[in-house]
Structure 1
Amino acid sequence: MASDTLDGLKVAILITDGFEQVEMTEPRRALDQAGAETQIVSPKDGQVKAWKFTEWGDEFPVGMSLNGARPDDYDALLLPGGVINPDTLRAIPAAVAFAKAFFDGGKPVASICHGPWTIIEAGAARGRRLTSWPSLRTDLRNAGADWVDEQVVVNGNLVTSRKPDDIPAFNRAVIELFASARGNARAA
């Protein structure tokens, strides 16, 4: 993938403590390598702590407090999973409103694993075909989504994936969707 594919694209990574480390670090690395500027946005100040499969992982600096973040300042949104992270975010009205603004604005959103819990809470699951960690199947169907068990699903401005094993396919789809959306925005 070309290093300038996403040159100038600004991507918010909405997380709090308990995000699955690899579901943030690997997509972030792919986005950065494609030329995007990524920034961690969090309701926490200072550092956020990752979950690494079965135990606590590394800490990462928060680039922008959720209270100071404006969706208009970003071109795309990444919603990593883990169980703790999206379960916490979906209970924070400001986090839900932040995510909802990307859907309302037609901006691209990428979500993996349990990340779609935030999509449900933002009211953006209805009528969409998507995937997630299998335990979210009923939640997503109850929210009006067409849940499928596939490695990666692109539906309009949303790309979803199931789990860490899907990250290579997820990253390719994220880069393609984000590049396409950027091209559409520039053409408008």
Structure 2
Amino acid sequence: MSEHNIAGKKVAFLLTDGVEQVELTSPWQAVKDAGGEPTLVAPGSGKLQGFNGTDKGDTFDVDLTVAEANASDFDALVIPGGVVNADHLRADKGAQSFTRSFFEQHKPVASICHGPWVLIDAGVVSGRNVTSYFTLETDLKNAGANWTDEEVVVDQGLVTSRNPDDLPAFNSKLVEEIAEGQHAGQTA
């Protein structure tokens, strides 16, 4: 059980096919263990294919499509990684808009590994302190972010981490930021 209680807090997990499974399931469980209510949001309906590296993993049922979901109905957003997942999400205008809405409403957002690609295309990383999978460093810097190679970086409600090895720290900070609530410095 987490030291932070987020009972009743609704957390959107934005993903699509190709999600790195543990980057979905581990934070999802951390949110549940702390009393939060996770919801799987995706560009399309149906089932999504998770991956463990390059091997197919489990499938996951979509709760809401991006078109059906509204950031106002959630307290926070989590964007897991996975190269294919993040690459498809970053090109989806609905996913970009949904992500940007959390920043406009000053709500916590957490993204790990390749997930920060989505933040670039949502136009929300300029001037922000972030980390990610190392291959995204140049992309994030070119988008105006201050990139560092650290286990977890927190900047005004934005939580980022590098890879699955960082999940314990990522999950802890994710739950802490949700417990803290809105952050005035969390802007688009």
TM-score range, shorter chain: over 0.9
The answer on whether the counterparts of 1:17 and 1:48 sit within 8 Å (CA) in structure 2 is yes
Residue segments in structure 1 that go unaligned for 5+ positions in a row: none
How many residue pairs were aligned? 184
**1:102 aligns to what?**
102
1:33 to 1:66, Cα distance in 2 relative to 1, 3 A: same
Structure 1 window deviating more from structure 2 (23-32 vs 43-52): it is 43-52
**2:120 aligns to what?**
120
**2:71 aligns to what?**
71
Aligned-residue Cα RMSD (Å) equals: 1.5
SS at match of 1:67: coil
Cα deviation, residue 182, structure 1: 6.0
The answer on whether the counterparts of 2:41 and 2:62 sit within 8 Å (CA) in structure 1 is yes
The answer on whether the counterparts of 1:3 and 1:35 sit within 8 Å (CA) in structure 2 is no
Cα deviation, residue 4, structure 1: 7.0
Residue segments in structure 2 that go unaligned for 5+ positions in a row: none
Cα deviation, residue 46, structure 1: 1.1
> Partner amino acid for 1:77?
L
> Partner amino acid for 2:175?
I
**1:31 aligns to what?**
31
SS at match of 1:68: coil
- Poorly superposed stretches of 4+, deviation over 3 Å: 1-4
Between structures 1 and 2, the one with greater helix share: 1
Correspondences of 1:11-90 after superposition (within 5 Å): 11-90=11-90
User: What is the TM-score of this pair, normalised by structure 2?
Assistant: 0.94
The answer on whether the counterparts of 2:16 and 2:88 sit within 8 Å (CA) in structure 1 is yes
The answer on whether the counterparts of 2:157 and 2:182 sit within 8 Å (CA) in structure 1 is no
Cα deviation, residue 54, structure 1: 2.0
SS at match of 1:57: strand
